[in-house]
Amino acid sequence: MAEKATDIISLLLEDHQEVRQLLTKIGQAGGEAKREAFHELVAELARHETAEEEVLYPSVRRLVDGGDDLADARTKEEHEGERLLTDLEKREIGSPDWDSVFSELQRAVLAHAEAEETTVFPKIREVTSAENLERMGKVLELAKKMAPTHPHPNVPTSATARAMTGPLAKVIDLTRDAIRDAMEKVGS
């Protein structure tokens, strides 16, 4: 049995693969399966992007030559994704324009992942040790556990602000998820 990768780059690549699978599943599914996959995608993207902003991008800014510009470009893409996710959450799956907004989200998410995989990840790997990448991976896993499960595009974008507001947002999100799930069961 292969040992689970724990360095930050490997963990983020695993996340990207999971998101790609969920995007495909949503595109092919219908009804309840589509709704469940979409809820899973929302939670995964919210946790992933929050953790990246708290762990990966501060290191990119500090360690990579031109890191501020690189981090700014990728976080701008993340915020566009948050905006689209928030828009989709407000719409009923199956509404006339849901699929077109979802297609826009899918294109944005895939382009963002590709940009990270081809520019950010190789550059951070070049400038830091394998041990540091492992440490960052452990912090990333912790950050994901504390991250909200829904996008919060109005939260300030600094890593410090997200770290401070994330746990409270997570409690709110978990409550919101429990109510949504209960209401969906009532409607069944």
Give the pLDDT confidence of 117-161 residue by residue, as tens digits: 999 999 999 999 999 999 999 999 988 888 888 775 555 555 555
Closest to 148 measured CA to CA, from 176, 170, 168: 170
State the pLDDT at residue 157: 52
Let me know: does 61 contact 71? Beta carbons within 8 Å: yes
pLDDT at 164 over 80: no
Residue 175 pLDDT exceeds 50: no
Q: pTM for this one? A: 0.79
Say what the pLDDT of residue 182 is: 46
Residue 186 has which token pair?
Answer: 């009532």
Q: Which residues contact 141 (CB under 8 A, 6 or more apart)?
A: 6, 11
Say whether pLDDT at 178 is over 60.
no
Q: Name the least confident of 5-14, 35-44, 168-177.
A: 168-177
Report residue 142: phi and psi, to 5°: -65, -45
- Asked if 141 and 15 touch (Cβ cutoff 8 Å), the reply is no
- For all residues of the chain together, what is the average pLDDT? 84
- pLDDT exceeds cutoff 60 at 17: yes
CA separation for the pair 180, 136 (Å, rounded) = 34
Rounded to whole angstroms, the Cα distance separating 153 from 134 reads 29
Distance of CA 49 to the CA centre of its chain: 4
* pLDDT one-digit tens code per residue, 36-80: 999 999 999 999 998 899 899 999 999 999 999 999 999 999 999
What DSSP string runs through 33-66?
Answer: HHHHHHHHHHHHHHHHHHHIIIIIHHHHHHHSTT
The mean pLDDT value for 21-44 works out to 93
- CA-CA-CA-CA dihedral for 105, 91, 22, 55, to nearest 10: 60
Residues 57, 59: Cα–Cα separation, whole Å = 5
∠165-171-175 over CA atoms, to 5°? 140
pLDDT score of 187 more than 60: no
Domains of the chain, by residue range, sit at 8-187
Q: 8-187 in CATH: which number?
A: 1.20.120
C-beta pairs of 13-20 under 8 Å, 24+ apart in sequence: 13/117, 13/121, 15/44, 15/48, 16/113, 16/116, 16/117, 18/44, 19/44, 19/45, 19/48, 19/109, 19/113, 20/110, 20/113
% of the chain exceeding 90 in pLDDT: 61
**If you average pLDDT over residues 3-18, what whole number do you get?**
91
Contact between 80 and 108 (Cβ < 8 Å):
yes
83 pLDDT higher than 80:
yes
